[in-house]
């Protein structure tokens, strides 16, 4: 059996970089607290033995307060790893120690890595590692994840990971309570003392690990005992640990004053002041628009689609296929109007990929520099109007890249209500980068008023639906508490690896759907299903929304991939099938319309079938209703609003 | 000066109210505790005086009893806060001292203490302090020694006195980040979010969270 090594640590301590150093393959490395939602696994060979290495989400305590932390505890208590590597921020030893105590209490073989050692030294913090090792009874190694310093030493001493001999002694009444609780488990449970501490702290999920061993009425008796305490045991336990942590920190750390604030630190602070913070937000958004919307979706797509693909790839593929394949139908399947090469490959490689790659590159830079949490600070108040807090900035901005990835990212939000609200707004109003790029291109062919109508429609829907849903949905917004990491110069290699990982994920997830979508369209067209569908949807599409019947397949495509559908509209507009009003209405409709199938799957997985169906039904009805209304308004005031007509 | 009888009644009403808060106001338990801690037969005195009513198995307060009980509780818990946060009495001595205090504080002095402490909402043990007339006006007095972070000016250096976690389970997160009583923090800014720095950790908070963090000016 392959033995397991688990990486544990507070958020934002460089755990994922250490993981990459150990396994050779990177996880998504991030500067934003709590991004590693899914655990990453990798393999490592040490002295001829193979180990599985698991990277867990950042956690402050084994007593979980979020789903992320739940995952971390589950890995530790269920997997019973051969060794746990705790990665600590050397600048913040006291906070790390609180987690160390819990890990020691759990009885896992432990090794402590004091990471970002260089940053601590530059701030005049020196840690006496041998002394700390002596106190805790586990190996302590200073590391710098980014440069790899200390990693060989960490690997070398990994087999010496030990249980640790540090024991926190709680006040006598707590000790008694813990002993009684642990004794009540009936059978000896793994990490009995730790489990008892979690139980008396009010945690009920720890049962999973001691379940079956609990006699009847155990919880009731425990709750009565806990209620007899004047101050909650949870607090007493925490205070004891904190006292030990402060004591040990004082013993092993020598601080030599604080050096002058660096320029980056000053910039980091400025990013959070109203002035110039909001200007910086606007500048960042503008640069993103220029880079992703203008450069990637305009220049780059034009270059790839019209020149590379239009002049060389497609004609060449056409010649090859015509020469090699005798069957007419197969040829059409590959090169026809709904062809696998002519449509799916062109869309995927020439239109969507450059836009998404540009977005991920930009997002990666924002993430690695530590700007994203600062963006959260600036936008917290705005997000509050629709029941979310600044933390939701991360999934929402990520949604401008890929909605599916963003929907997965909603897990970092703390309450059920927040997760549901974020999923709803992501599904309804946030266009992904490829879709956004194409829509901007589509609208750029018209007047600026057209762009404004689209923008106001989408942001208006975001705020109105968000605020309304916030009132209707039960539950609470969690308080906004967010750790702000220092602003750093992004490590380019790190960003590139991240972009690469995200792109690989995206291509794997998107390209098969592109191919599937094209195949469905091809067969529907051959079986004359498209015309049937167009006829069925006619009353809504033609009468209410005022669009030509041919856009119906585009909306179906939009369900398979949002960007794919928008690209279809783009081609129709190029061919002169849509007038100005129709371009605006269809652009609004496809943005609001139901997200792609992959994102729908995530919504179902996160919220369950019932809620997901209600959410989709709302999105469809809202999209159709709003577009029809917009159509009516535009029809009436058409000459006024969309004055310079006929350019589309 | 209050009579011994009146002090006993106040004491008993305070205890009874605490039991009602915790939903432990069964008749047997109340009777046993009161006669042990206050005086034998005090429960029937409460009933005869129109302060309490006996149910089938429970004891509850009448409006008249509740009014006195609420005042006693407020005085007791404010006294606890004063003794814990300002006078910094060791933990074991807080409760007995507060029991003496609660009977001698006049309404004016009570409100003055409440203002001095920044209108706290919770006693050191996490029980709710009934708000008084001074809290309604919520006048942020500069004379407060302990005040909520909301009332601190940007740039000030303060120490965490306590965090009211009982209303918001999520606030336990502040503890695990390391924001525990005694921690020295600097408030960097208040808008658009509160930014505080504790050691090498920088934390952003919204105003509601800041209102739950009580700090002591140095």
Tell whether A41 lies on the interface with B, counting CB pairs under 8 A.
no
Distance of alpha carbon B124 from alpha carbon B146, whole angstroms: 13
ipTM of the complex: 0.75
In a domain, A166, yes or no: no
Give residue-wise pLDDT tens across range A100-136: 998 998 888 999 999 988 888 887 888 999 999 999 9
**B22: helix, coil or strand?**
coil
Residue A80, domain extent: 3-160
- Domain count within chain A: 3
Q: Which of A507, A643, A626, A503 is nearest to A581 (CA)?
A: A643
Query: Is residue A408 located within the same domain as residue A480?
Result: yes
If pLDDT is split at 50, 70 and 90, which confidence band does A626 have? Answer: very high
Best residue of B19, B173, B188 to probe chain A, by most A CBs closer than 10 Å? B173
Which residue in chain B is spatially nearest to A10 when comparing CA positions? Answer: B177
Give residue-wise pLDDT tens across range A564-604: 778 788 878 878 888 888 889 999 998 998 887 778 888 88
**The pLDDT of residue B218:** 65
DSSP B171-193: GHHHHHHT--TT-EEEEEE-SSS
Distance of alpha carbon A523 from alpha carbon A508, whole angstroms: 23
- Chain A residues near residue B192 by CB distance under 8 angstroms: 272, 274, 277, 377-378, 380-381
Position of tokens 């706290």?
B120
**The pLDDT of residue A287:** 92
User: Which is it for the CA torsion A175, A180, A181, A186, positive or negative?
Assistant: positive
- Chain B residues near residue A378 by CB distance under 8 angstroms: 192
Task: Please tell me the class of the B68-137 domain.
Answer: mainly alpha
> What does DSSP say about strands B52-54 and B59-61: parallel, antiparallel, or unpaired?
antiparallel
Query: Is residue A200 located within the same domain as residue A323?
Result: no
Distance of alpha carbon A588 from alpha carbon A328, whole angstroms: 39
In a domain, A265, yes or no: no
**Chain B: nearest CA to A8, how far in angstroms?**
15
> Could you say which of A125, A479, A486 has the minimum Cβ distance to residue B209?
A479
Residues 6+ apart with CB under 8 A from A485: A12, A31, A32, A33, A370, A373, B202
Where does residue B180 fall: left (phi above 0), alpha (psi -120 to 50 degrees), or beta otherwise?
beta
If pLDDT is split at 50, 70 and 90, which confidence band does A280 have? Answer: very high
Beta bridge partners of B146: B216
CB contact under 8 A, A380 and B203: no
**The pLDDT of residue A468:** 94
| Contact predicate B180/B160, CB 8 Å | yes
Query: Is residue A475 located within the same domain as residue A622?
Result: yes
Query: Is residue A222 located within the same domain as residue A286?
Result: no
Give φ, ψ of B140 to 5 degrees.
Answer: -75, 100
**The pLDDT of residue A29:** 43
Which residue in chain A is spatially nearest to B154 when comparing CA positions? Answer: A273
**The pLDDT of residue A528:** 81
Would you say residue A278 has pLDDT above 90? yes
Instruction: Provide the CATH topology of domain B146-217.
Output: SH3 type barrels. (2.30.30)
Query: Is residue A37 located within the same domain as residue A125?
Result: yes
Helices marked H in A106-171 — which ranges?
Answer: 117-122, 129-136, 151-157
**In terms of C-beta distances under 8 Å and separation of at least 24 residues, what long-range contacts does B131-136 make, across chains too?**
B131/B74, B132/B74, B132/B107
Q: Which of A468, A416, A454 is nearest to A587 (CA)?
A: A454
CB contact under 8 A, A65 and B173: yes
Tell whether A508 lies on the interface with B, counting CB pairs under 8 A.
no
Tokens of A562: 């949002």
- Say if residue A326 is exposed, middle or buried (CB neighbours under 10 Å; 0-12, 13-18, 19+): exposed
Model-level pTM? 0.75
Distance of alpha carbon A3 from alpha carbon A245, whole angstroms: 31
Tokens of A14: 């460089």
Distance of alpha carbon A363 from alpha carbon B12, whole angstroms: 64
- Chain B residues near residue A98 by CB distance under 8 angstroms: 176, 178
Q: Which residues of chain B have pLDDT under 50?
A: 141-142
Which residue in chain A is spatially nearest to B18 when comparing CA positions? Answer: A230
Edge-to-edge strands, sheet with A49-55 = A40-46, A49-55, A3-9, A83-89, A110-115, A140-142
Query: Is residue A357 located within the same domain as residue A439?
Result: yes
**The pLDDT of residue A32:** 32
Tell whether A229 lies on the interface with B, counting CB pairs under 8 A.
no
Query: Is residue A442 located within the same domain as residue A378?
Result: yes
| Contact predicate A373/A483, CB 8 Å | yes
Give the mean model confidence (pLDDT) for residues A87-95.
Answer: 90
CB contact under 8 A, B178 and A92: yes
**The pLDDT of residue A373:** 92
**Chain B: nearest CA to A475, how far in angstroms?**
13
In a domain, A194, yes or no: yes
In a domain, A636, yes or no: yes
**The pLDDT of residue A342:** 82
Find residues 581-640 of chain A whose CB sits inside 8 Å of chain B.
none
Would you say residue A70 has pLDDT above 80? no
> Could you say which of A98, A272, A389 has the minimum Cβ distance to residue B206?
A389
In a domain, A444, yes or no: yes
**The pLDDT of residue A152:** 92
| Contact predicate A118/A72, CB 8 Å | no
Cα dist from B127 to A112, A466, A580, whole Å: 39, 36, 65
> Could you say which of A65, A274, A390 has the minimum Cβ distance to residue B191?
A274
- Chain A residues near residue B99 by CB distance under 8 angstroms: none
Find residues 331-390 of chain A whose CB sits inside 8 Å of chain B.
373, 376-378, 380-381, 384, 389-390
The domain boundary, picked from A160, A195, A219, lies at A160
If pLDDT is split at 50, 70 and 90, which confidence band does A648 have? Answer: very low
């Amino acid at each position: 059996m392959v033995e397991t090594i688990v990486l544990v640590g507070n958020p934002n301590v460089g755990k994922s970089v250490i993981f990459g150093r150990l396994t050779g393959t990177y996880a998504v490395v991030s500067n934003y607290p709590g991004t590693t939602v899914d655990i990453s696994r990798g393999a490592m060979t040490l002295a001829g033995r193979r180990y599985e290495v698991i990277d867990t989400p950042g956690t402050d305590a084994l007593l979980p307060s979020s789903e992320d932390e739940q995952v971390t505890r589950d890995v530790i208590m269920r997997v019973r790893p051969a060794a746990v590597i705790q990665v600590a921020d050397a600048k913040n030893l006291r906070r790390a120690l609180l987690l160390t105590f819990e890990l020691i209490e759990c009885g896992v073989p432990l090794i402590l890595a004091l990471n970002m050692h260089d940053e601590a030294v530059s701030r005049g913090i020196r840690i006496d590692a041998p002394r700390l090792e002596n106190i805790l009874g586990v190996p302590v190694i200073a590391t710098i994840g980014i440069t790899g310093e200390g990693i060989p030493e960490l690997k070398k001493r990994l087999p010496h990971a030990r249980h640790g001999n540090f024991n926190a002694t709680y006040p006598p009444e707590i000790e008694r309570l813990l002993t009684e609780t642990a004794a009540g488990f009936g059978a000896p449970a793994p990490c009995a003392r730790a489990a008892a501490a979690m139980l008396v702290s009010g945690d009920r999920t720890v049962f999973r690990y001691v379940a079956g061993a609990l006699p009847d009425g155990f919880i009731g008796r425990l709750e009565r005992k806990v209620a007899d305490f004047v101050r909650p045991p949870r607090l007493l336990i925490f205070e004891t640990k904190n006292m030990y942590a402060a004591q040990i920190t004082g013993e092993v750390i020598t601080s030599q004053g604080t050096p002058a604030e660096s320029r980056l630190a000053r910039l980091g602070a400025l990013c959070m002041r109203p002035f110039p913070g909001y200007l910086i937000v606007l500048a960042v958004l503008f640069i993103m628009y220029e880079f992703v919307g203008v450069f990637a979706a305009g220049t780059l797509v034009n270059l790839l689609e019209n020149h590379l693909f239009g002049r060389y790839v497609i004609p060449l593929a056409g010649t090859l296929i015509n020469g090699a394949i005798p069957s007419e139908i197969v040829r059409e399947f590959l090169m026809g109007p709904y062809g696998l090469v002519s449509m799916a490959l062109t869309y995927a490689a020439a239109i969507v990929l450059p836009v998404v790659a540009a977005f991920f590159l930009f997002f990666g830079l924002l993430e690695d520099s530590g700007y994203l949490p600062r963006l959260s600070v600036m936008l917290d108040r705005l997000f509050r109007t629709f029941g979310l807090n600044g933390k939701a900035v991360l999934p929402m901005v990520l949604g401008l890249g890929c909605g599916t990835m963003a929907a997965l990212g909603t897990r970092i939000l703390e309450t059920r209500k927040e997760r549901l609200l974020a999923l709803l707004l992501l599904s309804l109003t946030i266009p992904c980068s490829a879709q956004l790029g194409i829509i901007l291109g589509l609208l750029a062919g018209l007047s600026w008023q057209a762009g404004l109508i689209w923008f106001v429609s989408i942001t208006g829907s975001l705020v109105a639906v968000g605020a309304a849903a916030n009132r209707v949905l039960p539950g609470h917004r969690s308080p906004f508490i967010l750790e702000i990491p220092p602003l750093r110069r992004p490590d380019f290699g790190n960003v590139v690896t991240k972009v690469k990982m995200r792109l690989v994920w995206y291509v794997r997830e998107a390209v098969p759907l592109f191919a599937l979508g094209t195949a469905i369209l091809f067969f529907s067209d051959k079986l004359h299903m498209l015309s049937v569908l167009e006829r069925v949807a006619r009353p809504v599409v033609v009468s209410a929304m005022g669009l030509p019947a041919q856009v119906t397949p585009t909306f179906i495509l939009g369900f398979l991939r949002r960007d794919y559908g928008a690209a279809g509209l783009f081609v129709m507009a190029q061919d002169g099938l849509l007038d100005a009003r129709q371009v605006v209405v269809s652009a609004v409709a496809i943005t609001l319309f139901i997200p792609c199938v992959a994102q729908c799957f995530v919504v179902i997985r996160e919220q369950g079938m019932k809620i997901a169906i209600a959410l989709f039904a709302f999105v469809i009805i809202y999209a159709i209703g709003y577009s029809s209304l917009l159509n009516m308004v535009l029809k009436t005031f058409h000459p006024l609003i969309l004055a310079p007509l006929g350019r589309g | 000066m209050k009579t011994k009888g009146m002090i006993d009644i106040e004491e008993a009403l305070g205890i009874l109210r605490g039991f009602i808060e915790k939903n432990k106001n069964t008749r047997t338990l109340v009777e046993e505790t009161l006669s042990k801690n206050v005086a034998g037969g005090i429960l029937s005195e409460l009933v005869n005086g129109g302060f309490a009513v006996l149910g089938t198995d429970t004891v509850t307060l009448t409006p008249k009893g509740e009014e006195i009980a609420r005042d006693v509780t407020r005085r007791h818990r404010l006294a606890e806060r004063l003794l814990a946060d300002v006078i910094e009495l060791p933990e074991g001595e807080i409760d007995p001292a507060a029991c003496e205090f609660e009977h001698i504080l006049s309404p004016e002095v009570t409100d003055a203490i409440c203002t001095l402490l920044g209108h706290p909402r919770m006693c050191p043990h996490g029980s709710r302090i009934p708000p008084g007339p001074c809290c309604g006006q919520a006048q942020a007095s500069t004379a407060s020694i302990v005040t909520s972070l909301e009332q601190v000016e940007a740039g000030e250096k303060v120490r965490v006195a306590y965090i009211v976690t009982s209303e918001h389970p999520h606030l336990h997160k502040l503890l695990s980040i390391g924001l525990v009583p005694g921690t020295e923090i600097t408030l960097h800014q208040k808008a658009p979010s509160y930014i505080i720095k504790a050691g090498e950790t920088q934390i952003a908070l919204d105003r509601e969270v800041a209102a739950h963090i009580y700090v002591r000016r140095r």
